[in-house]
Structure 1
Amino acid sequence: MAGRFWDPDGSRYGIPTYPFRMAPDGLATRRQLRTTGLRPGGQDIAAQLLWLSRRYRRPGRSPVRVAYLYRIDLALPVRPMTPAKWAALAKANTSRRVCPECSTDAGYCIPTSLGMCVTCAYPDTQRAA
């Protein structure tokens, strides 16, 4: 199955393509770059990984998954968070905890499926302590 996605010169897929876990050294995904404190920094995609996934094998969905690879030597360091970004992040996280119905801090992130805290969503249910 690995031969299906083996295209190191890019003649079949347009860019160099490798099967899952067979990428050459010097290339990394965004997530791998981030764990090392790097970011792509505006560079183009250098290659891609393709693999078949059983999880996504459903009607109307392609079972082929893709991960783009970037060159590590061209990656730049991650920009540090500024005080304004930290404040904006704290404000956003706080707003996720405040119930729009009762306007109290729930102590947890409000589930988007409910749109309100559990106490407001299920007022008749008493908590067993």
Structure 2
Amino acid sequence: MSSRIRAAFLDPTAARHDIPTYPWRIAPPHLLTRRQLAARGLRPGGQDVQAQVMWASRRYRAPGGIRVAFLYDVRFALPKRTATPRQLAALAKANAARRTCPDCRKDAGYVLPRHLGTCLNCAYGPETVEPVAA
């Protein structure tokens, strides 16, 4: 990336953009994305977006090829919430329902394709489905 493009994205005072803006890998260390917060076991905790990182990408089909990631202040972040046992049980039940074939009532061992609505054995027959190597 050329320095001219980086300079176009450097706006720490929010004069050009509505919020402070930094080029890729130039943001202050206390500003992190949601994924970076999650990797540290944190969540934004209700705080507004503090800044953004912008970069040009030829692969991404955004307007003008510009990508944006929002940044949150790690000092205001809160620990991630943990699911209760009842929530975990409900999630396990929902995932089991996504794997259970409505025709043969067996657990397919994978999430059923939505376009078929059944397991591969019921949709195509057992002789056309190759067994999975263990």
Distance 2:85 2:111 in 1: 23
Distance 1:5 1:125 in 2: 58
Equivalence for 1:82: 84
* 3-state SS of 1:73 partner: helix
Distance 1:37 1:100 in 2: 38
Corresponding pairs, count: 126
What residue ranges of structure 2 are gaps of 5+ in the alignment?
none
Give the CA RMSD over aligned residues: 1.7
What residue ranges of structure 1 are gaps of 5+ in the alignment?
none
TM-score by length of 2: 0.84
Taking a change above 3 Å as real, the CA distance of residues 121 and 43 of structure 1, as seen in their structure-2 partners, is: same
* 3-state SS of 1:33 partner: helix
Matched, 1:39 2:43: yes
* 3-state SS of 2:97 partner: helix
Q: What stretches of structure 1 move > 3 A for 4+ residues in a row? A: none
Equivalence for 2:114: 112
TM-score by length of 1: 0.87
**Which structure has greater helix proportion?**
2
